[in-house]
Amino acid sequence: MIVLVTYDIVDDRRRDDVAMLLSGYGPRVQLSVFECDVRDQRELRTLRASLRERIDPLEDQVRMYPTTSQTFNERYVIGARTVEERADYWIVR
């Protein structure tokens, strides 16, 4: 199942942590939006728990919208802009 995950996170560190977690589940389609592919309800619960651990519930918000294959395939995308992932890394020899 595809779960649309959106977030508004105040702190840069927490925001980066959430983005890193979500990138393991699927592509970033907007700056604070991921299309996450989860196998079943158990994996969805695991993802929710992992997100809860990474945010401050008084300052941040994460929204998750589970979709069916039918509703996901009926999505509309207007515009061609894509979000490029940052490539921050160091090469140490």
Residue spans per domain, the chain: 2-73
* 88 has a pLDDT exceeding 70: no
Angle between helices 12-23 and 41-54 (to 10 degrees): 160
* 56 has a pLDDT exceeding 70: yes
Confidence of residue 17 (pLDDT cuts 50, 70, 90): very high
* 11 is annotated as contributing to ligand binding: no
Instruction: Please give the Cα distance from 39 to 3 (Å, whole number).
Output: 10
* 55 has a pLDDT exceeding 80: yes
* 24 has a pLDDT exceeding 90: yes
Tell me, what's the pLDDT at 74? Answer: 93
Q: Over range 28-37, report the average pLDDT.
A: 96
Tell me, what's the pLDDT at 33? Answer: 97
* CATH number for the domain whose boundaries are 2-73: 3.30.70.240
